């Protein structure tokens, strides 16, 4: 299907998308390619006389079958709503007109229309203005995803986008990149179950900021375009809270759970449709070459008759133990679905190695929160480590510590195994995956289907080992090598992990050392003119005293200094042994470009939430008092996007999206640009946990 020229849609179903938002692709490639919820699709192709399904039906929670998504309209929360922050950096990335990146460049009418779209009120806009145009209609039809998932280790059945609604797809005309804009907190969908579909201000602020913080630290993530305040009253465990909506962006929001729901419903037809779409459209993996598959079959399959499971068992019984020999590995053909799984495994490995290197805890690594693109998504009870604690649990709903910090790589592997189960038949079919009649015959027989799964197992295990375990370890070593100032990827040594990194992390755990401050202060460790650590003990003692909590230093300082030498000696020797690493100033500059000075810790997020809640209250009630926190989100967003504290003061200047220069307070850490949000974690802010509703 071609998407360059869109058909004129029925007026009943168009959602206007005004500037400065980028041009929509209508219809979207996603909705045009995959099966839709039958109820929500009624009338969409029926022309001018179509009768739209009432929102009371579209948004009613219900069981949805045979569908990847449902059309659904966001709830109109535009009355009294206003924009809290706009991410001009991302706006440029997704293709917003360069003359409309700043809020100050918008007309009042453009601002009002944008707020309406971002708060579900787009249908109030005059539709006729957006139907015709040189690039086709400026219209969209929002949708919500249908998926299942394992939650805390147990399959939970249908889940889906309970409070997230995808507005539309946009394509940056300069880069060709496709982006899907989604509203979180936009009201009920068929997948809301017993929830209200809203988002509170505190959770919206946390997601809006953290997505940008994680991306700026070099870890794949969804992104944040805008956050709005609404007058919706939301009731949560904490009581009545102000409502808010985040506009978040990703190339695709497809998750592991999208495959799982079809697998557990034994819906092989739609599972294949989804796998075809993800492999071809999301990963651009070409269809398998028929000649190559035929050649493989001729060489490896027709040489011997296929053996059933019973044949193999019978032969095993007939062979005496001393005669048994290990069978040669069976030749395998990696079709496009195996290649797709390989891509997902690699991307997931890089994502979680990034988490471990920046001290990030996700908090809810259910399979419905795992992106097939290996993006960090669904920011809920997350946390950046304060003191280094491998067993830290940031989600107080996680009573068993399933998603503790040190568990994250293993959980990713477990989640991948659940995704692999859904793809076993397609992967196991190997070169015959497009012989649909043969594949259906295999799946109709439990014995033959088991053979498919056995064939898939060898491929999946190999992918898990090479595309996840090996990729994770390689990427983690490279990231930590850079954090330690030990050079680029070409300078990684295996012994650095065992001689320096692991002992250093263990020492940090023993002495409750701040994970992030450790690396910033280690950058100041000087080696020039000093051959070994024993000759450098004055500096070692100063370093240890600086990074240890004062109570720990007073009680165990001398022991901590002595025990630090277990890894500092190897670290010192490693540096002085390399001409590329010896220069203290150059090494310090390199380390400070990968070790953040500003980290969105939970205490920082909490402080921002408290002050923004007060600011929103003033704006909502028409309070005319001077509000120093009016642009706070813009300022902290900038900090999240520039976390490394570049040394040149000129590089630290910032401006709000209104073009005005931000004012920053001084702080003891000497990083004026970050104001009060850097330095030691205050006592009240240590170990803050959040719940799944955060």
The percentage of residues in the chain with a pLDDT greater than 90, rounded to a whole number, is 78
Handedness of CA 447, 448, 453, 459 (dihedral sign): positive
Compute the distance between CA of residue 318 and CA of residue 324 in angstroms, rounded to an integer: 10
Q: Tell me what percent of the chain is helix, strand and coil, each rounded to the nearest 5.
A: 50, 10, 40
Local structure of residue 464 (DSSP, 8 states): I
What pLDDT shows up at residue 316? 41
Compute the distance between CA of residue 80 and CA of residue 109 in angstroms, rounded to an integer: 15
Compute the distance between CA of residue 418 and CA of residue 412 in angstroms, rounded to an integer: 10
Which tokens in the block code for residue 508? 């940090």
The 3 state secondary structure assigned to 222-254 is: CEEEEEEEEEEEEEECCEEEEEEEEEEEECCCC
What pLDDT shows up at residue 199? 96
pLDDT for residue 238 is more than 50? yes
Mean pLDDT of 31-40: 94
- CB-based contact 10:42 (threshold 8 Å): no
Give the range among 200-214, 648-662, 664-678 with minimum mean pLDDT.
Answer: 648-662
Name the band, by pLDDT with cuts 50, 70 and 90, for residue 314. Answer: very low
pLDDT for residue 329 is more than 90? no
On average, the pLDDT of the chain sits at 90
Mean pLDDT of 388-417: 97
Kindly tell me the burial class for residue 521, based on how many C-beta atoms sit within 10 Å of its own C-beta (0-12, 13-18, 19 or more).
middle
Residue 494: other Cβ atoms inside 10 A: 9
Q: On the CB side of 122, how many CA atoms lie within 13 Å of its CA?
A: 27
Name the band, by pLDDT with cuts 50, 70 and 90, for residue 302. Answer: low
The percentage of residues in the chain with a pLDDT greater than 70, rounded to a whole number, is 89
Residue 320: other Cβ atoms inside 10 A: 6
Name the band, by pLDDT with cuts 50, 70 and 90, for residue 12. Answer: low
Name the band, by pLDDT with cuts 50, 70 and 90, for residue 309. Answer: very low
Tens-place pLDDT, residues 105-116: 999 999 999 999
Task: Report the first-to-last Cα separation within the chain, whole angstroms.
Answer: 41
What pLDDT shows up at residue 665? 46
The 3 state secondary structure assigned to 252-291 is: CCCEHHHHHHHHHCCCHHHHHHHHHHHHHHHCCCCCCCHH
CA-nearest of 146, 171, 174, 150 to 160 is: 146
What pLDDT shows up at residue 58? 85
pLDDT for residue 6 is more than 50? no
What pLDDT shows up at residue 626? 84
Q: Which residues contact 674 (CB under 8 A, 6 or more apart)?
A: 597, 598, 639, 645, 664, 667
pLDDT for residue 121 is more than 50? yes
Give the range among 134-143, 364-373, 539-548 with minimum mean pLDDT.
Answer: 134-143
Mean pLDDT of 474-488: 96
Name the band, by pLDDT with cuts 50, 70 and 90, for residue 10. Answer: low
What pLDDT shows up at residue 43? 66
What pLDDT shows up at residue 45? 60
User: Can 584 be counted among the known catalytic residues?
Assistant: no
Widest Cα–Cα separation across the chain = 92
Tens-place pLDDT, residues 259-268: 999 999 999 9
pLDDT for residue 467 is more than 90? yes
Q: Is 626 helix (H, G, I), strand (E, B) or coil?
A: coil
Compute the distance between CA of residue 101 and CA of residue 593 in angstroms, rounded to an integer: 27
pLDDT for residue 170 is more than 50? yes
Which tokens in the block code for residue 295? 């050649």
Which tokens in the block code for residue 287? 């269809």
What pLDDT shows up at residue 691? 79
Domain ranges of the chain: 17-252, 270-302+335-359+395-479, 488-522+529-582, 602-685
Compute the distance between CA of residue 337 and CA of residue 475 in angstroms, rounded to an integer: 24
What pLDDT shows up at residue 651? 45
What pLDDT shows up at residue 574? 95
Query: Considering the entire predicted model, what is its pTM?
Result: 0.92
What pLDDT shows up at residue 328? 66
- CB-based contact 210:223 (threshold 8 Å): no
Number of H helices, E strands in the chain: 23, 15
Compute the distance between CA of residue 272 and CA of residue 287 in angstroms, rounded to an integer: 13
- From the list 37, 161, 288, 368, the catalytic residue is 368
Compute the distance between CA of residue 515 and CA of residue 509 in angstroms, rounded to an integer: 9
For 239, phi then psi, to 5°, come to: 115, -155
Angle subtended by helix axes 446-463 and 309-318, to nearest 10: 80
CA-nearest of 87, 106, 268 to 179 is: 87
């Amino acid at each position: 299907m071609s998407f360059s020229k869109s058909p004129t849609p029925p007026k009943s179903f168009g959602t206007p998308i005004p500037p400065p938002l980028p041009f929509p692709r209508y219809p979207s490639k996603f909705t045009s390619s995959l099966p839709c919820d039958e109820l929500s699709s009624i009338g969409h192709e029926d022309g001018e006389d179509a009768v739209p399904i009432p929102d009371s039906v579209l948004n009613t929670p219900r069981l949805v079958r045979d569908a990847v998504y449902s059309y659904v309209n966001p709830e109109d929360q535009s009355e009294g709503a206003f924009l809290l922050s706009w991410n001009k950096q991302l706006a440029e990335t997704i293709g917003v007109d360069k003359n409309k990146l700043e809020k100050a460049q918008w007309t009042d009418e453009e601002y009002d229309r944008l707020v309406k779209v971002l708060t579900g009120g787009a249908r109030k806009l005059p539709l006729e203005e957006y139907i015709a145009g040189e690039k086709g209609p400026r219209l969209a039809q929002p949708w919500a995803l249908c998926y299942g998932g394992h939650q805390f280790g147990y399959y939970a059945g249908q889940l889906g986008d309970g409070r997230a609604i995808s507005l539309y797809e946009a394509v940056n005309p300069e880069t060709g990149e496709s982006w899907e804009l989604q509203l979180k907190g936009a009201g009920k969908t068929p997948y809301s179950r017993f929830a209200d579909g809203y988002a509170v201000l505190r959770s919206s602020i946390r997601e809006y900021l953290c997505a940008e913080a994680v991306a700026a630290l070099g870890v794949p993530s969804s992104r944040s375009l805008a956050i709005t305040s609404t007058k919706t009253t939301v009731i949560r465990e904490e009581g009545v809270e102000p409502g808010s909506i985040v506009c978040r962006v990703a190339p695709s929001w497809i998750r592991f759970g999208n495959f799982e729901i079809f697998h557990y419903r034994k819906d092989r037809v739609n599972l294949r449709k989804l796998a075809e779409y993800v492999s071809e459209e999301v990963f651009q993996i070409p269809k398998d070459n028929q000649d190559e598959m035929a050649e493989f079959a001729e060489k490896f399959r027709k040489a011997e008759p296929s053996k059933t499971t019973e044949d193999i068992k019978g032969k095993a019984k007939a062979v005496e133990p001393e005669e048994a020999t290990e069978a040669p590995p069976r030749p395998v053909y990696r079709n496009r679905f195996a290649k797709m799984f390989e891509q997902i495994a690699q991307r997931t490995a890089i994502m979680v190695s990034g988490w471990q290197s920046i001290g990030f805890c996700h908090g809810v690594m259910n399979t419905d929160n795992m992106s097939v693109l290996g993006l960090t998504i669904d920011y809920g009870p997350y946390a950046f480590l304060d003191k280094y604690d491998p067993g830290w649990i940031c989600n107080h709903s996680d009573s068993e510590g399933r998603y503790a910090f040190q568990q994250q790589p293993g959980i990713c592997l477990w989640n991948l195994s659940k995704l692999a189960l859904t793809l076993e038949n397609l992967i196991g079919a190997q070169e015959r995956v497009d012989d649909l009649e043969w594949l259906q015959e295999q799946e109709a027989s439990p014995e033959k289907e088991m053979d498919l799964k056995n064939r898939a197992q060898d491929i999946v295990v190999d992918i898990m080992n090479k595309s996840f375990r090996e990729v994770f370890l390689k990427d983690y070593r490279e990231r930590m090598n850079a954090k330690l100032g030990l050079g680029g990827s070409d300078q990684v040594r295996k012994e650095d992990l065992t001689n320096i990194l692991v002992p250093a992390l263990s020492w940090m755990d023993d002495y409750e050392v701040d994970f992030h401050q450790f690396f910033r202060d280690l950058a100041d460790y000087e080696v020039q003119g000093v051959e070994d650590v024993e000759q450098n003990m004055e500096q070692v003692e100063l370093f240890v005293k600086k990074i240890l909590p004062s109570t720990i230093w007073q009680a165990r300082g001398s022991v901590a200094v002595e025990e630090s030498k277990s890894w500092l000696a190897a670290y010192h020797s490693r540096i002085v042994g390399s001409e590329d690493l010896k220069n203290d100033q150059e090494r310090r500059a390199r380390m400070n470009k990968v070790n953040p000075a500003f980290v969105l810790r939970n205490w920082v997020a909490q402080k921002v939430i408290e002050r923004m809640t007060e600011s929103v209250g003033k704006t909502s009630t028409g309070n005319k008092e001077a509000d120093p926190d009016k642009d706070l989100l813009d300022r902290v967003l900038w900090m999240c996007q520039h976390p490394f504290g570049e040394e040149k003061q000129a590089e630290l200047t910032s401006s709000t999206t209104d073009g005005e220069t931000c004012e920053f307070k001084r702080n003891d850490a000497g990083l004026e640009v970050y104001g009060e949000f850097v330095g030691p974690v205050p006592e009240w802010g240590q170990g803050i946990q959040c719940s799944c509703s955060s």
